[in-house]
Amino acid sequence: MDLPRAARNGAPLVATEQEDTTRSLGREVVELARTLPGDLRRLTVRNGACEVEVEWAGAVAAPAATATAAPAAAAPAAEEPEAAEAAPGTVTVRAPLVGTFYESPSPGADPFVRVGDEVEAGQTLGIVEAMKLMNPIVCDAPGVVAEVCVGNGESVEYDQPLVRLTPPGRLA
């Protein structure tokens, strides 16, 4: 329970509507962050023009049980050709959530990665925007970009391949 603060003269201060809104928004964002998978790196809440920013430590790996349970019979058939296209030894970085894929930090900027680029563990490969939040897509291990599977601004589904990497030192 929040207690009213005291002014310098000892009289209680009543929280402004903006302070109440900020506290409420902060509690809701913290509760939301607790329910989402992955390690939270940063959480920012502002009330002036209402800004909420959430950053995770890396891409969220899909739980095995969720990945195997398909809601429709057509979904596994669509994923099988993609899995067959991946060359042996490649690592596929997949979308951790439904959203829009962006290859660069802003319109007109250079893409985070291109085919043939060597990448390090923790490097950003792209962004998936979901509900006005920009979620960085990072690689878990070093490698060479063999393929960028989706175009800039394309909608992506959960667990859809985004980028394929080959191990370092191996040609893409």
Q: Residue written as tokens 């490969």? A: 125
Radius of gyration of the chain (CA): 21
Give the Cα separation of 133 and 8 in Å (integer).
40
What pLDDT score does 83 carry?
45
Once rounded to an integer, what is the mean pLDDT over residues 84-95?
80
Helix ranges (DSSP H) in the chain: 17-35, 64-68, 74-85
Please name each of the domains of the chain with its CATH number.
17-56 (no CATH), 64-166 (2.40.50.100)
Whether residue 49 has pLDDT greater than 90: no
Give the Cα separation of 113 and 118 in Å (integer).
9
What pLDDT score does 170 carry?
62
What pLDDT score does 9 carry?
58
Residue type, 139: C
By DSSP bridging, strand 99-102 and strand 124-130 are antiparallel
Closest CA to 88 of 6, 170, 2: 170
Task: Give tens-digit pLDDT for 27-44.
Answer: 777 777 776 666 766 777
Whether residue 47 has pLDDT greater than 60: yes
Look at residue 3 and give its three-state secondary structure: coil
Give the Cα separation of 94 and 112 in Å (integer).
16
Q: Residue written as tokens 């962004």? A: 127
Name beta bridge partners: 145. 165
How many C-beta atoms lie closer than 10 Å to residue 172's C-beta? 16
Residue type, 5: R
What pLDDT score does 171 carry?
56
State the chain's mean pLDDT as an integer.
Answer: 75
